[in-house]
Amino acid sequence: MKHFTSIADVNDVNQLVEQAISFKANAFQPELRKGKKVGLVFLNPSLRTRLSTQVAAQNLGAEAIVLDIGKDGWALEFEDGKIMNGDKAEHIREAAAVMGRYFDVLGVRTFPSLTDKATDYSETLLQSFLKHAGIPVLSLESGTRHPLQSLADLMTIKEHWTKDRKPKVVLTWAPHIKALPQAVPNSFAEWMMHADVDFSITNPEGYNLAPEFREGVSVYHDQAAGLAGADFVYVKNWSAYEAYGQVLSQDESWSFGNDQLALTNNAKVMHCLPVRRGLVIKDEVLDSANAIHLDQAENRVYAAQSVLNELLK
C-alpha cells in the first residue's frame, strides 16, 4: 500500500481488518517499525484521530510528531503560480517537501470548505500533499473521506457480528445545528459497499450523498422504513450535497432515540464521535448496551496501527 486516502488504496481490505483485530489482541510490538518517524499535520481540530494515531505509532516502535499547522505553522498557500504578497507565508510545495524529508509517513487532516463543491470533491488540499511530500501520505480525514474511521467502523462491525448471515447495516442522517462535512458518511458508505453486509441509507429529502457514494444503495426518505430490521445503525449528521454545504433541516424527529431503536433488530448503534447528546443521539441510547461508539473509538488505535504497519514497510 503506497498511500492511505481511500479504500481504493487498499490491496486487501480483509487482511487490513484482520491485522487490526490481531493488533488489538497484542498491541505493543515496538520492534516492528522501530525508529520510523510519522508526521501528523492537522489543519483542523481532532481528539480521536490525533491521539489514536500517536498511540498506534508508539505501539509499533515508531515516533509520531504532531503539527497543528493552523495554529503553530506558517499559513499555507496552495495555489500555484501566485505572487505571495498576501497573508500566506509558505507554499505547500516547500512545506510538504520539507516534511517529506523529516518523516517516513505523513498524516494529513483537512476539512472541506463546504462552499466550493468542485474544490472540496477534487481534494485539492490532500492532493497537494500527495504531490509534493514524496513519501506515503495517510489521510487523517479529508474533504470527502475519513478512511481511518471507516476501517475502525468495519472492524467494530466484524467484532460485534456473530450470526451466520449478512448483517443489515443502515446509515441514518440525524439533525445538527451546524453544517458538517460529508466525509464520514461518504467514507462509511464506500467501505460498506465493499463489505459483506446488506447496506442502505436513510436521510431526509435533499440530503442524498454524492452519487458515487450511494451507487446501487437503497436510500429511504422515510426513516422508519429505512431502519426496519437493522442490525447496525450508524447515526451521523451531514450537510446537503446537492444544495452544497447547506443545513436544510434540523428536524429533531430524526434524532436517534428509543423510538427509532424499537424499529430495528435490537441494533448496535454507532457514531464516529464527537456526538451532540440529545440532538444527534439521545442519552437513552448512548448510555444503553446497544451503543458501541466507544468500541469504535478504541478501534481507531488498531485501525491506525494496521495502516501504519503497511505504510512503514
Contact characters 128-147, ligand CP, x per CB under 6 A: -------------x------
Looking at 59, 149, 239, 306, which residue binds ligand CP (CB under 6 A)? Answer: 149
Residue 280 makes contact with ligand CP by CB under 6 A:
no
Residue type, 230: A
To ligand CP, the closest distance from the beta carbon of 7 in angstroms equals: 17
CA–CA distance, 298 with 313 (Å, rounded to integer): 24
In this structure, the chain runs to a length of 313
Nearer to ligand CP, 49 or 186 (CB): 49
CA–CA distance, 214 with 304 (Å, rounded to integer): 26
Residue 54 makes contact with ligand CP by CB under 6 A:
no
- Best CA proximity match to 207, nearest among 248, 170, 266, 261: 248
- Applying the rule CB under 6 A, the residues between 27 and 46 that interact with ligand CP are 46
To ligand CP, the closest distance from the beta carbon of 139 in angstroms equals: 11
CA–CA distance, 143 with 177 (Å, rounded to integer): 20
To ligand CP, the closest distance from the beta carbon of 247 in angstroms equals: 19
**How many chain residues are in contact with ligand CP, going by CB under 6 A?**
8
Which distant-in-sequence residues (6+ apart) come within 8 Å of 49 by Cβ?
A: 109, 140, 141, 148, 149, 300
To ligand CP, the closest distance from the beta carbon of 51 in angstroms equals: 8
CA–CA distance, 176 with 185 (Å, rounded to integer): 14
To ligand CP, the closest distance from the beta carbon of 235 in angstroms equals: 13
Nearer to ligand CP, 48 or 91 (CB): 48
To ligand CP, the closest distance from the beta carbon of 95 in angstroms equals: 22
To ligand CP, the closest distance from the beta carbon of 159 in angstroms equals: 18
| CA 309 vs CA 3, 59, 139: distances in Å | 12, 10, 15
Contact characters 64-103, ligand CP, x per CB under 6 A: ----------------------------------------
To ligand CP, the closest distance from the beta carbon of 45 in angstroms equals: 7
Looking at 60, 272, 286, 304, which residue binds ligand CP (CB under 6 A)? Answer: 272
CA–CA distance, 45 with 43 (Å, rounded to integer): 7
CA–CA distance, 238 with 178 (Å, rounded to integer): 9
- Best CA proximity match to 16, nearest among 307, 312, 311: 307
Looking at 224, 243, 273, 294, which residue binds ligand CP (CB under 6 A)? Answer: 273
Q: 52-65 burial, b if ≥16 CB within 10 A, otherwise e?
A: bbbbbbbbbbbbbe
Looking at 6, 19, 49, 202, which residue binds ligand CP (CB under 6 A)? Answer: 49
**H/E segment holding residue 130:** helix 124-133
What angle, rounded to 10 degrees, do the helices at 147-160 and 183-194 form? 50
Nearer to ligand CP, 53 or 309 (CB): 53
Nearer to ligand CP, 66 or 97 (CB): 66
* Residues in touch with ligand CP (CB under 6 A): 46-49, 141, 149, 272-273
